[in-house]
Each structure stands twice: as structure tokens, then as C-alpha cells.
Chains A and B, each alone.
Chain A
Amino acid sequence: MTAIELDGLERRYGERVALAGVSARVEAGQTLAVLGANGAGKTTLLRVLAGLLRPHAGMARVLGAELPAETWKLHGRVGFLGHEPLLYRELSGRENLAYHARLHRLNGSRVEEALAAVGMERRADEPLRELSRGMVQRLAAARAVLHEPPLLLLDEPRAGLDPAAAELLEPLIGRASGRTRVLVTHDVEGALAEADVALGLKGGRQQFAGRPPRAERVRELYR
């Protein structure tokens, strides 16, 4: 089943182009790496795929839902791990995850499983503002996959993580998870190694999409 189908996707910010000519095809279980310099539109694309921003032109079908008409079909089926952890600093890890579990109508036991999976059981009751960046990121990852989404949208998921923590999260958000993933990262070599499909953006416009290209092509995006 095709997880993501994009054709000529466009998104404007007033008169400025945020995304243009974005076309790609990602099958279920594959990993799409989105590459480009800062401000190239990577985060915008991620948010469009999540259903948080609506496309202005072109075709976008994510998990069988036509965007923007059927955005509601995506709700609860996407796991989003962006720059913000989307967690409340004054609440504990357990309270945060319990809140998200309730929003997604999940069983309470999932919270305990998730806490164990990211190695945060012992410090689950401390408010987030007392935890380190890496621990918050682990909890954010737990939040992102709590509802077992078929699609993962990851924006620099390993930022702030030590190698041990990164390894801990592999089965949840890595290739091993078996989920369809869209990965935004500046770690070009790492991304190309993991990716089945690669998409390059420059100034919002797509430069290439398809089998991962050679490193020089990617470096052109940053020029």
C-alpha cells in the first residue's frame, strides 16, 4: 500500500513560496529522508504531511487520506516528533503520557509500557522541568508512538540524545519499528544510509526525489 503520494504539492505564505513542485511516492514501511538547508521548507512539508497545514495546490494523499479534504482521517494515525516535545513542563512524564493516552482514547496500561520502553519508569513522576534534555526527548518519543501510528514524522529525532538513549529508541522510531517514516535531519550521511526514498528542497522548491542520490547532489542543496 502506498503510504504517501505527493504530486506538485504547493504551499504559500502570502505571496512567498513555502513549498513548490513537491512530488514523491513512499510505500508502507519505507523511510523518506527530507534534506535541505535551514528554511528550505522541510518543517513545512512535515507539517503538511501531519495534516497541520493545508496544501494550497497539487495532490497529497497520506495513509489514504486526500489532503486537505480528508485531513480528519489522519487524526490519531500520525506520530509527530518535532522540535517541540509537545509536553507540559510542570507535569510529570506519567501525567503527560496519561493525558495523551486519554486524548487518543487508549488504555492506561499503554502509559506504563511506553515509560518502560524508553527507560523512564524510575523518574516518571518528576515534573519535566527537572529532567535533562535527553530525558525529555525520550518522553517525547514515547508520546509520539504511544498510539502505535502507522506513520512517523521525525524532525531531528536524535537531537540531545546520547548514544545509549538513541539505541533505546531505535525499535520505537527507527527502521526497526517497521513503520513508514519521514525523517528530517542535517545528518546527511546517516539519512542517506537509512532512506529508501530521498527528497531534496531548496528555497521551498523540490530539487530531486527518488532513490537516494550521491552525496554531492545533496551538498548542492546547502549552497
Chain B
Amino acid sequence: MYAKGLKSLSIASVVAVAAALALVFFYAPLDADQGFVQKIFYVHVPMAIVALFGFVAGGVMAIKHLRSGDRTWDMRSYVAIHLSIILGVGVLATGAIWAKASWGHWWVWDEPVLVSFLVVFLLYCVYYPLRFSIDDPERQARYSSVFAIAAGAFVPLNFAAVRMAESFTHPRVLSQTGGDLPAEMRLTFLACLLAMALLFVTLWKLELTSKNASMQLKRLRAKLLAEADARAAA
């Protein structure tokens, strides 16, 4: 079910990533202040944006799961959140590298987006222990969905709150994440964003396909065993 279109999607992703990388290294101009290191921004910010969309999408899929009772929506929600958490690690790592190179510290509190992301990431890390500490599979799915919805609603609230707080104490420093980028940088940025989004969707579909296949395999195996039991008893 999920494998449909997976091949063309994968090819599109590979092409997009290759094109984006090419733009980053050969097309985008060097930043006057930060030099080569600034190019991390092309990975860091798209990763963050895609991860956040992944979290919110996970919440929306969770709503669909609760309203329909269809467990496939829970699986989709789980994979979306799961991938976003992994991207989240990447966001924090690239953020730290960028911070070190730009300001000399591995972490700065000046950048509200990075700070909010840390809080969001810490919250979503609880998804796994919550999910896997509930034994009943149906209940596990339901409770995970409730969490995904609450956390999804939390994301924008948190960003608003952190931004309000930081703009108070630390003046907004970075123009890189703002709108006044030179045209070449903006094009490169958009290309990276597109590539990251395609990559995310491809990985999402890929993981769902694999999960689906292993579930069907388990079901078939159980069925065969049951039939063998019945024949042995007869």
C-alpha cells in the first residue's frame, strides 16, 4: 500500500538532494562575516522546519487515529514523530556547530528558534518511554495519539512564548533566518528545504512500507501456526 510511488519518490529525493548540495557548494556565495561555516545554515534550518512540520503532522494524524479508530493512522503518526525526533538530533547538533563557529560557544541562548527546538525535542523524547511502557497495544496507540496531539498543540505555543521572552532580554540577532537574504542564498535555501522535505517523506513512506510488510508477515505466520494447531488437534 505504501510502496506505491516509493520508487519515483526516492529518485526525486536523490535528485533534489544532489541538486541542493551542488547549489550549496558551488552556487551560494560565501557569507561575508562567517565564511564557509555559514553553509551549515542550509542544513540546519531546513532540518528544523521539516522536523517541526513532522511533529505537527504527527499530531494531525493522531487526531485522525482517535476519530476513526483506524490503527494505520497511529502507525503513520508514530513514524512521522520518530523521524522528526531523529532530525531533531541533527538540528541540535548542527545548531551547536554553527553556534561554536559563529559565537565561539557550543550553545547560545540568543537564538529563540534553537532554544524552542530544544524544549520541543525534550518533550518528544518522552514519546518513546510513554509509548513502550504501556503493554496493551490498543491502549498504547490511543495514549500515544493523545500525547502527539497535546505535543503538537504545544509546539506553536512554545515558540511564541520563547520568542516573546528572548526578544525581551536578547535583541533579535540573526538576519539569516529572516527574510532579507540575497537572491542566490534564498534560492539555495529553498532548494535545500525542498530536498529535506522530499527526503523526509521518502523515509516516512519507506519505514511505513517496511513496518507494514513485517506486520503482514507476522499475521501470516500466526495464521499458519493456528491452522497447524487445528490440524494437529483434529
Contacts and interface: CB of A to CB of B under 8 A. Distances in A.
**Do A and B assemble together?**
yes
Contacts of B218: 15
Contacts of B137: 13-14
Interface of B: 136-137, 218-219, 222
Nearest to A13: B136
B124 to A, nearest CB: 25
7 contacts: A13-B136, A13-B137, A14-B136, A14-B137, A15-B218, A15-B219, A15-B222
A48 B137 CA distance: 17
A147 to B, nearest CB: 28
Nearest to B137: A14
A13 B222 CA distance: 14
Interface in A1-60: 13-15
Contacts of A15: 218-219, 222
A14 B141 CA distance: 11
Nearest to B215: A15
A117 B137 CA distance: 43
Contacts, number: 7
B19 to A, nearest CB: 44
B178 to A, nearest CB: 50
**Interface secondary structure of A, over-half rule:** loop
Contacts of B136: 13-14
Contacts of A14: 136-137
A18 to B, nearest CB: 11
Contacts of A13: 136-137
A202 to B, nearest CB: 11
A163 B52 CA distance: 66
Contacts of B222: 15
A14 B71 CA distance: 12
Nearest to B219: A15
A158 to B, nearest CB: 30
- Top-7 shortest CB links A-B: A14-B137, A15-B222, A15-B218, A13-B136, A15-B219, A13-B137, A14-B136
A14 B218 CA distance: 12
A13 B218 CA distance: 15
A100 B183 CA distance: 70
Contacts of B219: 15
A13 B137 CA distance: 7
A15 B217 CA distance: 12
Nearest to B136: A13
B137 to A, nearest CB: 4
Nearest to A15: B222
A15 B216 CA distance: 11
A218 B45 CA distance: 68
B75 to A, nearest CB: 14
A14 B140 CA distance: 10
B168 to A, nearest CB: 48
A14 B222 CA distance: 12
Nearest to A14: B137
A209 to B, nearest CB: 20
B115 to A, nearest CB: 40
Nearest to A68: B69
**Chain A CB within 10 Å — which of B136, B137, B218 has the most?**
B137
A156 B218 CA distance: 37
B23 to A, nearest CB: 48
Nearest to A17: B226
A67 to B, nearest CB: 14
A14 B136 CA distance: 7
Nearest to A16: B222
A13 B136 CA distance: 7
A113 to B, nearest CB: 38
Interface string A119-155: 0000000000000000000000000000000000000
A38 to B, nearest CB: 19
A101 B93 CA distance: 58
A221 to B, nearest CB: 15
B232 to A, nearest CB: 14
Nearest to A56: B138
